[in-house]
Amino acid sequence: MTHFGATILDATGTRLSRDEKRLFAEANPFGFILFKRNIDTPDQIRALCDDMRDAVGRNAPITIDQEGGRVQRLRAPLWRDWPAPLPHVEAAGAQAGEAMYLRYRLIAHELHALGIDSNCAPLVDVAGPQTHEFLRDRCYGTDPAQVADLGRAVAEGLLDGGVLPVLKHIPGHGRAQADSHLDSPVVQEDLRTLTQSDFAPFKALNDLPMGMTAHLVYAAIDDLPATISPRMMQIIREDIGFGGLIMTDDISMKALSGSLTDITRASLEAGCDIALLCNASLEDRRAVAEVAGQLDAAGQARAEAALAARRTPTEVDISALEAKLSAMSGGIAYGG
Protein backbone atom coordinates (compact mmCIF):
# COMPACT_ATOMS: atom_id res chain seq x y z
CA MET A 1 0.00 0.00 0.00
CA THR A 2 1.24 3.47 -0.90
CA HIS A 3 1.31 5.81 2.09
CA PHE A 4 0.90 9.42 1.06
CA GLY A 5 2.83 12.40 2.30
CA ALA A 6 0.70 14.82 4.35
CA THR A 7 1.12 17.71 1.93
CA ILE A 8 -0.24 19.25 -1.26
CA LEU A 9 2.48 21.13 -3.14
CA ASP A 10 2.82 23.27 -6.26
CA ALA A 11 5.33 23.91 -9.05
CA THR A 12 7.25 27.03 -9.96
CA GLY A 13 6.60 27.05 -13.71
CA THR A 14 5.00 25.32 -16.66
CA ARG A 15 7.12 22.16 -16.33
CA LEU A 16 8.82 20.58 -13.36
CA SER A 17 12.46 21.29 -12.77
CA ARG A 18 14.86 18.45 -12.06
CA ASP A 19 14.98 19.50 -8.39
CA GLU A 20 11.19 19.55 -8.15
CA LYS A 21 10.96 16.06 -9.62
CA ARG A 22 13.46 14.85 -7.04
CA LEU A 23 11.63 16.58 -4.18
CA PHE A 24 8.23 15.20 -5.18
CA ALA A 25 9.62 11.69 -5.56
CA GLU A 26 11.08 11.88 -2.04
CA ALA A 27 8.16 13.66 -0.34
CA ASN A 28 5.36 11.77 -2.15
CA PRO A 29 2.77 14.53 -1.53
CA PHE A 30 -0.84 13.44 -1.52
CA GLY A 31 -1.48 15.76 -4.44
CA PHE A 32 -0.67 18.98 -6.25
CA ILE A 33 -2.23 22.37 -6.96
CA LEU A 34 -1.92 24.55 -10.08
CA PHE A 35 -1.76 28.34 -10.37
CA LYS A 36 -1.79 30.87 -13.20
CA ARG A 37 1.99 30.63 -13.55
CA ASN A 38 1.56 26.93 -14.37
CA ILE A 39 -0.90 27.60 -17.20
CA ASP A 40 -0.01 28.08 -20.86
CA THR A 41 -1.61 25.72 -23.39
CA PRO A 42 -3.78 22.60 -23.06
CA ASP A 43 -0.94 20.32 -24.16
CA GLN A 44 1.46 22.00 -21.73
CA ILE A 45 -0.96 21.54 -18.81
CA ARG A 46 -1.48 17.89 -19.64
CA ALA A 47 2.30 17.42 -19.80
CA LEU A 48 2.76 19.16 -16.43
CA CYS A 49 0.09 16.96 -14.85
CA ASP A 50 1.86 13.92 -16.28
CA ASP A 51 5.17 15.20 -14.85
CA MET A 52 3.61 15.53 -11.39
CA ARG A 53 2.05 12.09 -11.43
CA ASP A 54 5.19 10.48 -12.86
CA ALA A 55 7.23 12.04 -10.05
CA VAL A 56 5.19 10.21 -7.39
CA GLY A 57 4.49 7.13 -9.49
CA ARG A 58 0.71 7.17 -9.16
CA ASN A 59 -2.47 8.92 -10.24
CA ALA A 60 -2.17 11.70 -7.65
CA PRO A 61 -5.01 14.24 -7.48
CA ILE A 62 -4.28 17.62 -9.05
CA THR A 63 -6.44 20.50 -7.92
CA ILE A 64 -6.97 24.11 -8.97
CA ASP A 65 -9.02 27.17 -7.96
CA GLN A 66 -11.59 27.53 -10.73
CA GLU A 67 -14.52 29.31 -9.07
CA GLY A 68 -15.12 32.03 -11.64
CA GLY A 69 -14.81 35.78 -11.32
CA ARG A 70 -11.53 36.87 -9.74
CA VAL A 71 -10.65 33.32 -8.71
CA GLN A 72 -10.08 31.29 -11.87
CA ARG A 73 -6.77 30.09 -13.24
CA LEU A 74 -8.06 29.07 -16.68
CA ARG A 75 -9.30 32.01 -18.76
CA ALA A 76 -10.35 33.03 -22.25
CA PRO A 77 -9.53 32.70 -25.06
CA LEU A 78 -8.58 29.04 -24.51
CA TRP A 79 -11.17 28.44 -21.79
CA ARG A 80 -14.40 30.02 -20.60
CA ASP A 81 -14.33 33.18 -18.52
CA TRP A 82 -16.96 32.85 -15.80
CA PRO A 83 -18.69 35.61 -13.85
CA ALA A 84 -18.27 35.57 -10.09
CA PRO A 85 -20.63 33.05 -8.44
CA LEU A 86 -22.90 35.46 -6.54
CA PRO A 87 -23.95 37.57 -9.56
CA HIS A 88 -24.56 34.35 -11.50
CA VAL A 89 -26.77 32.97 -8.70
CA GLU A 90 -28.72 36.24 -8.56
CA ALA A 91 -29.16 36.32 -12.33
CA ALA A 92 -30.48 32.74 -12.43
CA GLY A 93 -33.04 33.42 -9.69
CA ALA A 94 -35.32 30.46 -9.04
CA GLN A 95 -33.22 28.35 -11.40
CA ALA A 96 -29.98 28.99 -9.51
CA GLY A 97 -29.60 25.38 -8.37
CA GLU A 98 -29.70 23.97 -11.88
CA ALA A 99 -27.60 26.84 -13.20
CA MET A 100 -24.84 26.19 -10.68
CA TYR A 101 -24.91 22.48 -11.46
CA LEU A 102 -24.52 23.22 -15.18
CA ARG A 103 -21.83 25.86 -14.58
CA TYR A 104 -19.65 23.48 -12.62
CA ARG A 105 -20.39 20.53 -14.88
CA LEU A 106 -18.94 22.63 -17.72
CA ILE A 107 -16.00 23.67 -15.57
CA ALA A 108 -15.38 20.02 -14.73
CA HIS A 109 -15.43 19.16 -18.44
CA GLU A 110 -12.65 21.68 -19.08
CA LEU A 111 -10.59 20.56 -16.10
CA HIS A 112 -10.88 16.84 -16.72
CA ALA A 113 -9.77 17.24 -20.34
CA LEU A 114 -6.51 18.75 -19.04
CA GLY A 115 -5.79 16.04 -16.47
CA ILE A 116 -7.00 18.16 -13.52
CA ASP A 117 -9.30 16.10 -11.32
CA SER A 118 -10.08 18.34 -8.35
CA ASN A 119 -11.43 21.87 -7.87
CA CYS A 120 -11.41 24.04 -4.74
CA ALA A 121 -15.20 24.45 -4.71
CA PRO A 122 -17.93 24.59 -3.52
CA LEU A 123 -17.42 27.67 -1.36
CA VAL A 124 -20.33 27.65 1.09
CA ASP A 125 -19.32 30.58 3.26
CA VAL A 126 -22.50 32.51 4.07
CA ALA A 127 -22.32 36.14 2.95
CA GLY A 128 -23.38 38.91 5.28
CA PRO A 129 -23.52 42.72 5.32
CA GLN A 130 -19.88 43.03 6.39
CA THR A 131 -18.29 40.18 4.46
CA HIS A 132 -14.95 41.38 3.11
CA GLU A 133 -14.95 42.24 -0.57
CA PHE A 134 -12.29 39.64 -1.36
CA LEU A 135 -14.87 36.96 -0.52
CA ARG A 136 -18.38 38.37 -0.92
CA ASP A 137 -19.01 37.84 -4.64
CA ARG A 138 -17.46 34.38 -4.38
CA CYS A 139 -20.30 33.34 -2.04
CA TYR A 140 -23.61 31.83 -3.16
CA GLY A 141 -25.93 33.88 -0.95
CA THR A 142 -26.94 35.01 2.51
CA ASP A 143 -29.34 32.22 3.52
CA PRO A 144 -27.57 29.15 4.97
CA ALA A 145 -30.10 26.65 3.61
CA GLN A 146 -29.95 28.09 0.10
CA VAL A 147 -26.16 28.21 0.24
CA ALA A 148 -26.10 24.54 1.22
CA ASP A 149 -28.41 23.59 -1.66
CA LEU A 150 -26.30 25.51 -4.16
CA GLY A 151 -23.14 24.00 -2.71
CA ARG A 152 -24.61 20.54 -3.27
CA ALA A 153 -25.38 21.44 -6.88
CA VAL A 154 -21.81 22.64 -7.40
CA ALA A 155 -20.37 19.47 -5.88
CA GLU A 156 -22.56 17.19 -7.99
CA GLY A 157 -21.70 19.08 -11.17
CA LEU A 158 -18.01 18.59 -10.45
CA LEU A 159 -18.35 14.93 -9.46
CA ASP A 160 -20.42 14.11 -12.55
CA GLY A 161 -17.61 15.63 -14.61
CA GLY A 162 -14.95 13.47 -12.99
CA VAL A 163 -13.61 16.18 -10.66
CA LEU A 164 -13.37 15.95 -6.87
CA PRO A 165 -14.87 18.93 -5.01
CA VAL A 166 -13.04 20.57 -2.11
CA LEU A 167 -15.53 22.11 0.35
CA LYS A 168 -14.35 25.45 1.70
CA HIS A 169 -13.72 27.27 3.96
CA ILE A 170 -14.61 25.06 6.93
CA PRO A 171 -16.23 26.03 9.30
CA GLY A 172 -17.24 29.32 7.61
CA HIS A 173 -15.43 32.41 6.36
CA GLY A 174 -18.40 34.68 5.67
CA ARG A 175 -18.12 36.88 8.76
CA ALA A 176 -14.50 37.78 8.04
CA GLN A 177 -14.01 41.53 7.74
CA ALA A 178 -10.37 41.18 6.70
CA ASP A 179 -8.61 39.35 3.90
CA SER A 180 -6.92 36.28 5.41
CA HIS A 181 -4.28 36.43 2.67
CA LEU A 182 -3.05 39.63 4.31
CA ASP A 183 -4.37 39.71 7.87
CA SER A 184 -5.83 37.55 10.65
CA PRO A 185 -9.64 37.92 10.71
CA VAL A 186 -11.43 37.53 14.05
CA VAL A 187 -15.09 36.51 14.33
CA GLN A 188 -16.85 37.58 17.54
CA GLU A 189 -20.22 35.79 17.28
CA ASP A 190 -21.18 33.20 19.87
CA LEU A 191 -21.15 29.47 19.17
CA ARG A 192 -24.95 29.19 19.02
CA THR A 193 -25.18 31.85 16.28
CA LEU A 194 -22.31 30.31 14.34
CA THR A 195 -23.83 26.84 14.57
CA GLN A 196 -27.20 28.01 13.28
CA SER A 197 -25.80 30.06 10.41
CA ASP A 198 -22.16 29.86 9.35
CA PHE A 199 -21.57 26.20 10.22
CA ALA A 200 -24.90 24.95 8.85
CA PRO A 201 -24.00 24.60 5.14
CA PHE A 202 -20.87 22.66 6.07
CA LYS A 203 -22.89 20.29 8.20
CA ALA A 204 -25.31 19.77 5.30
CA LEU A 205 -22.36 18.88 3.05
CA ASN A 206 -20.33 16.92 5.59
CA ASP A 207 -20.32 13.85 3.32
CA LEU A 208 -18.13 15.45 0.63
CA PRO A 209 -14.75 13.81 0.12
CA MET A 210 -12.43 16.75 0.84
CA GLY A 211 -12.54 20.06 2.65
CA MET A 212 -10.35 23.12 3.28
CA THR A 213 -10.05 25.02 6.53
CA ALA A 214 -10.57 28.72 7.26
CA HIS A 215 -7.70 30.72 8.78
CA LEU A 216 -10.16 32.56 11.05
CA VAL A 217 -10.17 33.06 14.80
CA TYR A 218 -13.59 32.31 16.32
CA ALA A 219 -13.08 34.28 19.51
CA ALA A 220 -15.95 32.72 21.46
CA ILE A 221 -14.34 29.31 21.04
CA ASP A 222 -10.56 29.75 20.83
CA ASP A 223 -7.91 32.41 20.29
CA LEU A 224 -6.20 30.36 17.58
CA PRO A 225 -7.20 30.29 13.89
CA ALA A 226 -9.33 27.26 13.08
CA THR A 227 -6.55 25.69 11.00
CA ILE A 228 -4.30 25.31 14.05
CA SER A 229 -6.97 25.06 16.76
CA PRO A 230 -7.61 21.59 18.25
CA ARG A 231 -10.91 22.88 19.65
CA MET A 232 -12.12 24.14 16.27
CA MET A 233 -11.00 20.97 14.54
CA GLN A 234 -12.96 18.99 17.11
CA ILE A 235 -16.05 21.05 16.27
CA ILE A 236 -15.48 20.42 12.56
CA ARG A 237 -15.17 16.68 13.06
CA GLU A 238 -17.74 16.10 15.80
CA ASP A 239 -20.36 18.88 15.68
CA ILE A 240 -20.28 19.64 11.97
CA GLY A 241 -19.56 15.98 11.35
CA PHE A 242 -17.19 16.41 8.43
CA GLY A 243 -15.69 12.99 7.75
CA GLY A 244 -13.63 13.71 4.64
CA LEU A 245 -9.99 14.55 4.12
CA ILE A 246 -9.21 18.00 5.55
CA MET A 247 -6.52 20.17 4.03
CA THR A 248 -5.42 23.52 5.35
CA ASP A 249 -5.89 26.64 3.34
CA ASP A 250 -2.49 27.81 2.11
CA ILE A 251 -0.23 27.90 5.16
CA SER A 252 1.82 30.76 3.67
CA MET A 253 -1.10 33.19 4.05
CA LYS A 254 -0.53 36.07 6.48
CA ALA A 255 -3.45 35.04 8.73
CA LEU A 256 -1.09 32.46 10.26
CA SER A 257 2.04 33.54 12.10
CA GLY A 258 5.25 31.66 12.70
CA SER A 259 7.55 29.63 10.51
CA LEU A 260 6.09 27.40 7.81
CA THR A 261 7.37 24.33 9.62
CA ASP A 262 5.82 25.43 12.91
CA ILE A 263 2.50 26.13 11.17
CA THR A 264 2.64 22.73 9.47
CA ARG A 265 3.27 20.99 12.75
CA ALA A 266 0.51 22.93 14.53
CA SER A 267 -2.10 22.31 11.82
CA LEU A 268 -1.49 18.56 11.74
CA GLU A 269 -1.42 18.32 15.54
CA ALA A 270 -4.73 20.24 15.64
CA GLY A 271 -6.38 17.64 13.42
CA CYS A 272 -5.87 18.65 9.78
CA ASP A 273 -4.82 15.79 7.53
CA ILE A 274 -2.92 17.74 4.88
CA ALA A 275 -0.80 20.90 4.85
CA LEU A 276 -1.34 22.91 1.66
CA LEU A 277 1.71 25.01 0.81
CA CYS A 278 1.66 27.42 -2.13
CA ASN A 279 4.08 29.92 -3.65
CA ALA A 280 7.09 28.80 -1.62
CA SER A 281 10.73 28.19 -2.43
CA LEU A 282 12.05 24.72 -3.10
CA GLU A 283 13.78 24.79 0.28
CA ASP A 284 10.56 25.71 2.11
CA ARG A 285 8.63 23.03 0.26
CA ARG A 286 11.22 20.47 1.26
CA ALA A 287 11.21 21.58 4.90
CA VAL A 288 7.42 21.48 5.14
CA ALA A 289 7.28 18.04 3.51
CA GLU A 290 9.85 16.72 5.99
CA VAL A 291 7.92 18.06 8.99
CA ALA A 292 4.56 16.85 7.65
CA GLY A 293 5.79 13.33 7.03
CA GLN A 294 3.23 10.74 6.02
CA LEU A 295 -0.48 10.71 6.70
CA ASP A 296 -1.42 8.86 9.87
CA ALA A 297 -3.69 5.82 9.63
CA ALA A 298 -6.93 7.81 9.90
CA GLY A 299 -5.74 10.39 7.38
CA GLN A 300 -4.60 7.66 4.99
CA ALA A 301 -8.05 6.06 5.16
CA ARG A 302 -9.72 9.40 4.46
CA ALA A 303 -7.32 10.03 1.56
CA GLU A 304 -8.09 6.66 0.02
CA ALA A 305 -11.83 7.26 0.43
CA ALA A 306 -11.49 10.64 -1.30
CA LEU A 307 -9.66 9.10 -4.24
CA ALA A 308 -12.28 6.36 -4.46
CA ALA A 309 -14.92 9.09 -4.92
CA ARG A 310 -13.45 10.02 -8.31
CA ARG A 311 -15.99 9.19 -11.01
CA THR A 312 -15.80 8.54 -14.71
CA PRO A 313 -17.47 11.60 -16.29
CA THR A 314 -21.03 11.10 -17.40
CA GLU A 315 -21.60 11.48 -21.12
CA VAL A 316 -23.28 14.79 -21.93
CA ASP A 317 -23.86 17.11 -24.86
CA ILE A 318 -21.67 20.06 -23.87
CA SER A 319 -23.19 22.40 -26.46
CA ALA A 320 -26.66 21.61 -25.16
CA LEU A 321 -25.56 22.30 -21.57
CA GLU A 322 -24.06 25.62 -22.63
CA ALA A 323 -27.25 26.66 -24.38
CA LYS A 324 -29.39 25.64 -21.42
CA LEU A 325 -27.20 27.50 -18.95
CA SER A 326 -27.17 30.63 -21.09
CA ALA A 327 -30.96 30.60 -21.33
CA MET A 328 -31.42 30.47 -17.55
CA SER A 329 -28.65 32.91 -16.62
CA GLY A 330 -30.34 36.20 -17.44
CA GLY A 331 -27.98 37.18 -20.21
CA ILE A 332 -24.78 36.74 -18.21
CA ALA A 333 -22.04 35.99 -20.71
CA TYR A 334 -19.02 33.76 -20.46
CA GLY A 335 -16.37 33.64 -23.15
CA GLY A 336 -14.05 30.99 -24.44
Show Cβ contacts of residue 226 under 8 Å, excluding neighbours closer than 6 positions. 170, 171, 213, 214, 215, 216, 217, 218, 232, 233, 236
Sign of CA dihedral 67, 71, 73, 75: positive
Catalytic residue from among 181, 190, 223, 296: 181
Dist CA 34 CA 63 (whole Å): 6
User: For this structure, is 173 an active site residue?
Assistant: no
Three-state secondary-structure class, residue 67: strand
- Residue (of 255, 247, 179) closest to 224 by Cα position: 255
- Residue (of 107, 212, 126) closest to 174 by Cα position: 126
Alpha carbon 190 to its chain centroid, in Å, reads 26
- Using alpha carbons only, give the angle 117, 31, 262 rounded to the nearest 5 degrees: 140
42-56 and 18-27 helices, crossing angle to 10°: 50
User: For this structure, is 181 an active site residue?
Assistant: yes
Sign of CA dihedral 286, 306, 273, 229: positive
* Biggest distance spanned by C-alpha atoms of the chain: 52
Catalytic residue from among 65, 117, 137, 249: 249
Dist CA 102 CA 156 (whole Å): 10
- Residue (of 244, 238, 209, 212) closest to 226 by Cα position: 212
Query: Which sequence positions are flagged as catalytic?
Result: 181, 249
